[in-house]
């Protein structure tokens, strides 16, 4: 243990000691699946050395280098930006690069691929359904002045208030954690899921966009927000604070208001006279006499 520095915190001194080699150990419980060899996923435990500040992703790299060279997962930026390392860690969808082992408050680190998706191999989920649904909702700016959009001559003005309407939803990194936590997506194959719907709302809320009329054909149907039961798990696990549950509720409101606007400008139904040959059924009693 190095000598205490003036004003240094005890936990900081402990961190220095662990970084200098006084490491502890942690047990990784990893879900394996190789479609070429395994008929079903299997669990295997490993024990590795851990140090202060060590992330779950760093532990996986150590595990691959020392004990499980064939272990597969996705990762890229290592700083919570790309969303590649979304995994099911100790019963919750998280980013492996942003999750420190010390945060788990357990001597076990249980790692599995994100649920609600097929497994490609080991910790790699098949996110194709998520990205297919994302494509269908037209996640890009749509404008009537297409020529200006493709060959801009000026900038589109946008106030700070207009920016704030969609800014939070633009932080999505497409990691799939919200989809893995959504109980509706787990049981309903028709439901688009929180990520695609949030991105649809991101562009619906953008003052520069004019594509709501095209997107609502998808959003108002069986793949849209009406299948959401508002469990809120998508917002709880989102590593970027996007709050998909909020986006979906706002989308429901916009769809209802749009329907009411159409009704308000539509022609009322014509009166239909009583068709000939229809008589009152004898088993239905007459209405009582009016008292007012």
What are the residue boundaries of the structural domains of the chain, listed by start? 12-125, 128-147+158-264
pLDDT for 278: 62
Q: What is the CATH number of domain 12-125?
A: 3.10.20.30
Phi, psi at 99, each rounded to 5°: -110, 115
Q: What is the pLDDT of residues 137-149, one digit of tens each?
A: 999 999 988 888 8
Helix%, strand%, coil% for the chain, nearest 5: 35, 15, 50
Give the highest mean pLDDT range of 20-24, 271-275, 280-284: 280-284
Whole-angstrom Cα distance, residue 85 to residue 274?
66
Nearest to 223 by CA among 260, 185, 176: 185
Contact 91, 110 (CB under 8 A): yes
Give CA–CA dist 7/105, Å, rounded: 28
Going by the DSSP 8-state scheme, the letter that residue 40 receives in this structure is S
Q: What is the pTM of this model?
A: 0.80
Q: Torsion over CA of 230, 169, 180 and 225, rounded to 10 degrees?
A: 40
The DSSP call for residue 192 is -
pLDDT at residue 155 greater than cutoff 80: yes
Residue of 184, 49, 57 whose CA lies nearest to 116? 184
Regarding the domain with residue range 128-147+158-264, which homologous superfamily does it belong to in the CATH classification?
Answer: Alpha-helical ferredoxin (1.10.1060.10)
């Amino acid at each position: 243990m190095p000598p205490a520095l003036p004003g240094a915190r005890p936990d900081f001194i402990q961190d220095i000691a662990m970084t200098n080699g006084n490491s502890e150990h942690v047990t990784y419980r990893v879900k394996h699946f190789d479609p070429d060899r395994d008929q079903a996923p299997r669990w295997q435990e490993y024990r590795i050395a851990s140090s202060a500040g060590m992330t779950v992703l760093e532990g996986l790299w150590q595990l691959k280098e020392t004990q499980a060279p064939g272990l597969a997962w996705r990762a890229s930026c290592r700083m919570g930006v790309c969303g590649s390392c979304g995994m099911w860690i100790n019963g919750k969808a998280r980013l492996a690069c942003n999750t420190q082992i010390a945060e788990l408050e357990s001597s076990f680190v249980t790692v599995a691929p994100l649920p609600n998706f097929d497994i490609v191999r080991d910790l790699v989920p098949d996110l194709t359904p998520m990205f297919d649904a994302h494509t269908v909702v037209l996640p890009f700016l749509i404008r009537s002045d297409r020529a200006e959009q493709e060959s801009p001559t000026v900038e589109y003005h946008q106030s700070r208030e207009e920016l704030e309407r969609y800014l939070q939803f633009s932080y999505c990194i497409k990691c799939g954690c919200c989809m893995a936590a959504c109980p509706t997506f787990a049981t309903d194959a028709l439901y688009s899921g929180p990520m695609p719907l949030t991105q649809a709302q991101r562009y619906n809320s953008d003052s520069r966009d004019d594509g709501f009329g095209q997107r609502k054909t998808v959003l108002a149907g069986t793949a849209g927000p009406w299948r959401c039961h508002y469990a809120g798990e998508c917002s709880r696990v989102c590593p970027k604070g996007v709050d998909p549950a909020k986006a979906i509720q706002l989308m429901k409101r916009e769809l209802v208001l749009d329907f009411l606007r159409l009704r308000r400008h539509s022609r009322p139904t014509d009166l239909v006279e009583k068709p000939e040959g229809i008589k009152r059924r004898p088993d239905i009693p007459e209405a009582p006499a009016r008292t007012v």
